[in-house]
Structure 1
């Protein structure tokens, strides 16, 4: 019934990954295409999902399935990848490829994913906030049963001491399915990769913990099929994940007696019938984007920030703990230059960020140097430096697009801090910008930035002025109109979406048509309470309480202002996103 063709797409690092396409030749060629994307289990490949193309009985859909890097026909050492997050980014590039090459809109896409593939898909939906129609997860591997006591901490320690290494799966085919033919094919398939790298396994655990904890920020209709007799993964995290999902269209099914290979079980028609019904019903109504424009006023992120802003009971253990933590930071600031900058100017100030970007122990004494290094190695600051690299990459990519289309390259950063990250990014451009306008509210930052412009010999094209990033009129009046604007690390500091609306409205008026906006987000942070309870902000020494915006919320605000999101990257920790939107 279907025509099957095989292809490759180029992912974020230039790697060509293999995928298959099944198309029903009886469908009209001018129809609005709908697609099911299949993601295979760990160790396997797209061929192990091919039976679902017929069995799901969805003839109006095109089907696509990839071989994840390190699997099947895709390159890379078997069972390995640069990181788990690199594979999630592969999904983003895969879907972008399908959208552009097959003219498929995101809201006409549904995902069917199993085991490790299900965790990859769920992480992608959480981190990149695609506007897809349905997400069907079969036995998501949020927590693998390792059976060996202290296996995870042991593997973590061994990887730190000896680097990456491989372990072989203990899972036998008879533990995966009651279907004897499928079990036999698993044992004889030369493309099955039985080993998995420790960095991929630990990355899977880290991403799973984050996604299960933050599942309230997945705004897609979701169906979970949980195998009732699964020897491979735990069921509890699957239930925890399901309970936190906010979308009203969600289902959790326990398939009694099923082993881990849910979609390859002997009685898998029970599972495929449920998927068929769920996807059919999700497509029976028009796509509706989640309403997140007022998430600052009501909802989980608002409640968390409100709780972290509240004063703790004076005689409680928590109050005593955080007071002691703040005193330790003040004591440390007597030795550490990094902590001194944070205590004096705020841990979210431009001066602090400039120190983080320099990434050097600058204290004069040995104790201070040790504190500086520990401070700079905090996961948040590591993520900040990756964000800087991602901004540089995106700015280079979209500046080149503008130049290639014969448009002027006029860059504006509305809250540049000292300007180091944007000037570093500009230095990497293949062609010099026509103009660079840096703005910031702080006279200290403006003075430091002006000096940096002079030092780098950019005074003939660059200027740094004192200005308010939330003043709509001030932004709208910028001349000449920028073609590439950057907002980095600003919106994350302010909970109020009205402030962002003011800023984005000004940017929408300022940026030329078809110009680009690069904007950052902070969708999750493992140290949110520590930051709120112990660190001070640049705003008159107030506590630095962050309200974490989901990527879906941030994208909705940008879209409301008249932009269309076209690209995104995220650090490997799942904290900071860098997105690109085009003015429509």
Structure 2
């Protein structure tokens, strides 16, 4: 066991996104100048104290160390082992990192992020969904798939949750299955802050979310170290190897540690894991921060290949070709009864009219059958995500207006592809102070007409106007008067695979928005129904099948940054489909 002297530890807390105060430990750097920070995330059931030894054993004296107690763990509040959702805990991670940056002045680019077990899964989801520009990531025995030794455990737990609501599951894992270190076993058994329970909603969220992160690990481009414990009886090895093989980072290392149990950094012979981690972190800090060039991701790479495959027609005699042909026929027949399906066929399922119908979320159609079909259509996971995206756009719009009012600046809003403009109008109706001006634009004459009617009905006609305009004409956008200090582009770039067009639009926006003004933009890093959409639904652009190319969050963030904006905040739905971000023009 390492006998290095313990470092000075400070205790503190931060307020996370929903107002809850979470506890964390901080070990300040013992050597100046400080090079950066190591931010650590513990495994399930445990707390930051179980990782305290790493602050000394990693022997990185010119780094600050931070470790939190996740909500429902250790000295943080909440029912033991509970979080409202896995996505809520991932947003806690994002808030914690922002807190460290704000309070201690450490740039995200100077942070190494280290996680064990479920803590490693949290940082994996965060790295995928939020695309933080961290220096590197260290995964120790990530719990992408927990070993549940009861047959049909996941379907059984899902059924029980549906019948009785949320409940808690006690861990079967004994300390001797975690480490060969007897002292660590004894301290685990005697630790009053360790809880053996986990909320079933968190466990089921883990099973739903981890496959998405593994399947799309190419989106994670930060330098990554993966440590796998060979004799781990708590989690499966297969998903860890698959995750590594799919990682998009050109700098990645994988080490299988012989004889190690699940508690990788708490094993008896952990020095090999510690030395490997230390060397990896130092190697990344010896070089400039890695920033991949994703401006040509529309011409080659995973999402480009995916879109090409989706655009390729299927031969009808094949099983897949027949399946999707029948699916198209069923949707066409459904449009005879469902108002939403009929509108999609008439205007395009990606049109402003279709989105406005989805926002209103009021099933309509011919008789009971038509309304039932329409309810099923409106309840599809994609449209549920779109409605959540609308809520996030409104939230960030209100946040941007608050920031401007706190600076004593009059609010001037510009939306370059507003559809019918419903999310802007509803946000303004809920805000106590009226902006100085609102300019909504859209390429579609139908959208302009419907948007003008909404403005008249909302009582905002004295400050708001709706005009026809091309969101990809940089010169036209740059000439916007008055200059805006809140720009909005929602659901537009996701429909166009070409980055050149997006860059032209962003260049125009950067000239249309005052320095220090804000930009709200959306992204679609993931969608579970891409093939269904590409094989069955038509687009307003050309009436052909709606084939989308996903942009990873890293890609859209980089395009926005290149246009002169600094990302401040991000929201993402629980399914990981749609993101809404707030950036400030530098």
Contact 1:32 1:104 in 2 (8 A): no
- C-alpha deviation, 1:131, in angstroms: 0.7
Q: Which residue of 1 aligns with 2:7?
A: 2
2:86 pairs, out of 84, 95, 100, with 84
Contact 1:562 1:583 in 2 (8 A): yes
TM-score with structure 2 setting the length = 0.98
Q: Which residue of 1 aligns with 2:389?
A: 387
2:18 pairs, out of 5, 13, 18, with 13
SS of aligned partner of 1:148: coil
Are 1:365 and 2:367 an aligned pair?
A: yes
Note the alpha carbon deviations across 1:287-318, whole angstroms, 9 max, x for none: 12011011001111000001111111232111
SS of aligned partner of 1:515: strand
SS of aligned partner of 1:513: strand
Q: Which residue of 2 aligns with 1:173?
A: 175
TM-score with structure 1 setting the length = 0.98
Cα distance between partner residues in 1 of 2:289 and 2:392? 31
Q: Which residue of 2 aligns with 1:63?
A: 65
Cα distance between partner residues in 1 of 2:257 and 2:480? 60
Cα distance between partner residues in 1 of 2:224 and 2:355? 39
Q: Which residue of 1 aligns with 2:159?
A: 157
SS of aligned partner of 1:251: strand
Cα distance between partner residues in 2 of 1:24 and 1:109? 13
Note the alpha carbon deviations across 1:378-411, whole angstroms, 9 max, x for none: 1111111111111111111111000110112001
Contact 1:177 1:259 in 2 (8 A): yes
Cα distance between partner residues in 1 of 2:164 and 2:216? 32
Cα distance between partner residues in 2 of 1:145 and 1:2? 36
Are 1:325 and 2:288 an aligned pair?
A: no
Note the alpha carbon deviations across 1:88-133, whole angstroms, 9 max, x for none: 0011111111011111111110011100000000110111111111
Contact 2:524 2:579 in 1 (8 A): yes
Are 1:217 and 2:219 an aligned pair?
A: yes
Q: Which residue of 2 aligns with 1:40?
A: 42
State the aligned residue count. 581
Contact 2:48 2:68 in 1 (8 A): yes
1:353 pairs, out of 352, 355, 359, with 355
Q: Structure 2 stretches of 5 or more lacking a match? A: 1-5
Q: Which residue of 1 aligns with 2:380?
A: 378
Contact 1:294 1:497 in 2 (8 A): yes
- C-alpha deviation, 1:433, in angstroms: 0.8
Q: Structure 1 stretches of 5 or more lacking a match? A: none
1:518 pairs, out of 512, 516, 520, with 520
Contact 2:221 2:250 in 1 (8 A): no
Q: Which residue of 1 aligns with 2:76?
A: 74
Q: Which residue of 1 aligns with 2:3?
A: none
| 1:236-251 equivalence runs, <5 A | 236-251=238-253
Cα distance between partner residues in 2 of 1:306 and 1:273? 44
Note the alpha carbon deviations across 1:504-561, whole angstroms, 9 max, x for none: 0000000000000000000000111111111111123111111000000001100111
Note the alpha carbon deviations across 1:183-207, whole angstroms, 9 max, x for none: 1111111111111111101111122
Cα distance between partner residues in 1 of 2:186 and 2:508? 63
1:538 pairs, out of 526, 537, 540, with 540
Note the alpha carbon deviations across 1:243-302, whole angstroms, 9 max, x for none: 011222111111111111111111111111110111011111111201101100111100
SS of aligned partner of 1:464: strand
| 1:443-462 equivalence runs, <5 A | 443-462=445-464
Cα distance between partner residues in 2 of 1:166 and 1:376? 32
- C-alpha deviation, 1:78, in angstroms: 0.8
Contact 2:316 2:325 in 1 (8 A): no
Contact 1:33 1:104 in 2 (8 A): no
Note the alpha carbon deviations across 1:131-158, whole angstroms, 9 max, x for none: 1111010000000000111111111222
- C-alpha deviation, 1:2, in angstroms: 2.6
Cα distance between partner residues in 2 of 1:430 and 1:130? 34
Contact 2:29 2:65 in 1 (8 A): no
Q: Provide runs of 4+ in structure 1 moved above 3 Å.
A: none
Please say which of residues 76-85 and 161-170 is displaced more in the overlay: 161-170
Cα distance between partner residues in 1 of 2:19 and 2:293? 36
Cα distance between partner residues in 1 of 2:162 and 2:425? 35
- C-alpha deviation, 1:33, in angstroms: 4.4
SS of aligned partner of 1:505: helix
Please say which of residues 488-497 and 363-372 is displaced more in the overlay: 363-372
SS of aligned partner of 2:79: coil
SS of aligned partner of 2:93: helix
